Structure 1
Amino acid sequence: MPPRPKLVFFSDIHIGTNAATNWYQRSLHEPYLLAAFEYIQQQAASIQELVVVGDLVDQWTYEPSRTPPTFAEIAAANPRIFGGVVDGQRIPGALGAALSALEGRVTYVAGNHDMSVTAEDVALIRDEQGRSPHHVRTPLYEPPAARGGIVCTHGHIYSLLNAPDFIQNPRNGIPFAHFITRMAALWSVQQLAKMPPGSTAASLPGSGDPTGWPLAKDALHQLLQELKLGRVSLSGSVMGALLELTGQKSDLTFSMLDGTRLTAADVVKAYPSVLESFEETASKSKDLYGALAGELALSEVDALNSLVHFAERLGTQRQHKVVVMGHTHVPVDEDEHQLFLGDSLYANCGFSCPSEPDMKAQDKRRYCTFTEVEIDEAERRFIVSTRYVTGEGGSYHVAPLPLTAPKSIDMSGPGRISTPAA
């Protein structure tokens, strides 16, 4: 029996220039990522499409004094992924090889850390036939092979701190969390100065927090209450706390990708009403956000790192059977109840840049993961799995079995969810 057709979703790889503050470090993570792309080539006959669901590259994880890199600079720093000269020979790179194997069926959906990436940037990725990934300009994407049954989005649009903010920042929509992440990079520099030479952000346990800063949950809940009462400015409160923690003052200057420079005081002034701005944006798409969007975005997505509420709404309002997201860096298999959302399944890809200590941890071990959805036309079901790459014994490959048991759901009608028999 031929293999069932399937869709593969990667997200949150966070490839940078391999600066010490980057979560993704070529020396650590590249073998895992190359193994995932090799799997794509091996399974190409059954893969209908590879969708990158945001944050393929990272233009955020750089300290304020460092100008974030362009897409071309990131690509040049990682030729085995994007193509270039390696050992004196020009190669198409893993992305180019995937494009060839899938005959061009690769799609790029932007996240928050790569929201500045343009279609022209994506066109720099090419296979030997000159094909490039399809660049999606909207936050939601429906893979054609699923015929409306599957929708994917990075997930940052549901974060109060990370959602594009074209109201307060009409120039480029960069959200306030960009500056939180830049401050986190500065904090990383300070921590790495206490560690052995050659240490990077990937040497720090817990590296890769999606907001860029592990804000205390209780503090965020208290902040929400204060915001509702109009007593505090979110940007002022958070930036003030980060400046104090890193020993900086309000004249700290951020060098931006577009060539502009902003002080911390400028940033606070530029984002006077993060909550109101988010709610104004959400009010224009009520079917996607629902009521109390701002409160839920802060109290669930940012404080609890959970997209469950919005995934369920997206599934039920648009009648999709499977909703695939990224952003949280947590594959849903680590929290089984997240999969069960009535008439739809929520799948999260996790991420591909866990820190070295987290990959070796005995408790809550982190893996480089991605999502795979099989399309069972005979049984009229979607089968969702979280796959992971293992590097045990120095051999890197996609593990033969998923991280946990797959889940499946009817393609149409009531969302009967089950665990397929082995």
Structure 2
Amino acid sequence: MKNPAGISVLSFIVLFVTLFSACKDEQVDHTIGAFNNGGNERNMIVVMSDLHLGADLTYAECNKNLGSLEKLLKQIKASPNVKELVIAGDMLDEWFVPANVDTYQGKDQADFVKRIAATNKGVIDALNSIIGEKKIRVTYVPGNHDLTITAANVESILPGINQARDKEQGLGTYLPVDCSKIAIEHGHRYNFFCAPDPISNQDIAPGTILPPGYFYTRIAVLYVMQKPVTPADTPPVITKDPSATASQSLLYTYWYVWSKALASYPIANKFDEKIIVTNVNGFKGNYAVNDILPYQTTPGGAIDVKLYKGIQDSWIQRQALNHVAIPIPVGQAIAGSGKASEAELQAQNQYFLNPASDKRIVIFGHTHDPKIIASTNLTGQKCIYANSGTWIDHNGVAPTTMSFVVITPQNANASSQTYVKLYNFQNEVITPMAQDSIRY
């Protein structure tokens, strides 16, 4: 999840437990522009993510940066060298809505998506202009904030866009044309609070895939809209039973993460108030914070929860349904849900250290933490992980926003390299942040 100075859900507690050092920009070539390869070939791949386009600019995370995003898209379109533009998730935001607001305003998702397009007309028009020209392939990969938005509804506002989707709703991995060693996905597949959950709450909301991070975000946005605020309630204390079963211990960890999050983002409502308006993805009616928060009726007694009952026990099955190649231990997944380092670790484990994977470059979004990290795979070959960052107005995770990645693939020349470069567009100036390269 993300944190609410610009929350978009990967941070209950401030991110930044970095596992490796990023390769900074000492060797960045400032003589060639970000979208210029110095020749005539159209081969460059631009990756951006986490645009977080909302239907209402009163609370949308991307507002002040919309004009800059539109300008950059026009620069990308004008480039004779860009071959592909990939939007790696969280393009449209169905999560970042205050808890007490009816997301669809009594209508449906199709209408909601059209409202996003109208609210962000300049950006949508710029994307459609690129798509319509048919010189640059534009690809969308689902993220968690647009988890339930259907392919048809994306197509309705961006006709002709390529969509890299798994068979299962809300997931996708993209391999750029002629670049089979590169994988691009949002990264939420590996996050306990953000990965699709087709197991929980089926008795309450048949067919739902919304994970608990959805409810966290709705509450956190309410905090953003209400602050400064005097908390009306505090999370109840749960006493851990030293002799508890593994399942109960995991549910305690789940409660602990939730309690820290709610303490960090207090709201002016009691936890038993039915303030969370749903009517989304199978959910009907309103819910209270207490419906989501694990509870204990007697100190040291059994811990229980209403929504997401048994979620600590279904993680292995959930990962299988979501095609996670290397299963992540549930305790690690719960405790690491708010750490950018966990996403970085999964890029390594799922791709570079996975004997069944031949990928050498992996690009994620999701964490809002733009960086480039080099490592090696099981055979000692150099690999590169990059995170494309975010375009939200205020990034509480990293000092920069409006970031993107540019990949320039190698050619047949044995000395050529595949370059991965990270930039930001702050102050509407393309500024190099980091780069690295490999040959595969």
Indicate the residue corresponding to 1:248 in structure 2: 270
User: In 2, Cα distance between the equivalents of 1:386 and 1:271?
Assistant: 38
Alignment partners' CA distance in 2, 1:409 and 1:125: 37
Give the TM-score normalised by structure 1.
0.74
1:230-277 superposed Cα distances (whole Å, 9 cap, x missing partner): 144566566666389324222323222537223124444120233322
For the pair 1:124 / 2:156, whether they are aligned, the reply is: yes
Contact 2:113 2:157 in 1 (8 A): no
Aligned residue for 1:124, secondary structure, equals helix
The answer as to whether partners of 2:55 and 2:113 remain within 8 angstroms in 1 is no
Match of 2:433 among 394, 403, 407: 403
What residue in structure 2 maps to residue 73 of structure 1?
Answer: 115
Separation of aligned partners in 2, 1:371 and 1:22:
24
Residue in 1 that maps onto 2:10:
none
Unaligned residue ranges in structure 1 (runs of 5+): 83-92, 195-214, 412-422
CA distance in 2, matches of 1:240, 1:302: 13
Output the CA distance in 2 between the equivalents of 1:262 and 1:233: 25
Tell me by how many angstroms 1:37 deviates: 0.4
What is the deviation of 1:380?
5.3
* Deviation of 1:17 (Å): 2.1
Partner in structure 1 of residue 107 of structure 2? none
User: What is the aligned counterpart of 2:161 among 119, 133, 145?
Assistant: 133
Where does residue 189 of structure 1 map in the other structure? 225
For residue 18 of structure 1, give the secondary structure of its aligned residue in structure 2: coil
Distance 2:404 2:279 in 1: 29
Aligned counterpart for 2:405 among listed residues 371, 377, 387? 371
- Which of structures 1 and 2 has the larger relative contact order (alpha carbons within 8 angstroms, sep 6+)? 2
Residue type at the aligned position of 1:376? Q
Secondary structure, in 3 states, of the residue corresponding to 1:346?
strand
Q: Distance in 2 between matches of 1:176 and 1:285?
A: 16
Deviation at 1:389, TM superposition (A): 0.6
Q: How many residues align?
A: 351
Q: Which amino acid aligns with 1:248?
A: K
Question: Partners in 2 of 1:21 and 1:58 — Cα distance?
Answer: 11
Contact 1:13 1:56 (8 Å CA) reproduced = yes
| Pairs within 5 Å for 1:18-37 | 18-25=56-63, 28-37=64-73
Deviations 1:190-210 (A, max 9, x none): 21679xxxxxxxxxxxxxxxx
Show CA shifts across 1:149-207 (max 9, x none): 1111100111111111001145220000100111101111221679xxxxxxxxxxxxx
CA distance in 1, matches of 2:135, 2:306: 48
Shift of 1:14: 0.4
Over the residues paired in the alignment, what is the CA RMSD in angstroms?
3.2
Judge conservation of contact 2:44–2:82 (CA < 8 Å) in 1. Answer: yes
What is the CA–CA distance in structure 2 between the aligned matches of 1:112 and 1:39, rounded to whole Å?
A: 28
Say if 1:4 and 1:95 are closer, same or farther in 2 by CA, change over 3 A: closer
1:308 pairs with 2:347: no
CA distance in 2, matches of 1:140, 1:348: 16
Match of 2:86, as an amino acid?
A: V
Shift of 1:76: 1.4
Checking the alignment, whether the CA contact within 8 Å between 1:49 and 1:143 is kept in structure 2 is no
Cα distance in 2, alignment partners of residues 308 and 123 from structure 1: 31
Higher helix share: 1
Residue of structure 2 in register with 1:331 after alignment: 370
- Are the counterparts in 1 of residues 164 and 174 from structure 2 also a CA contact under 8 Å? no
Change (3 A) 1:134 1:193: same
Q: TM-score, normalised by structure 2?
A: 0.71
Check whether the contact 1:14–1:56 (CA below 8 A) recurs between aligned residues. yes
In structure 2, the partner of 1:282 is: 319
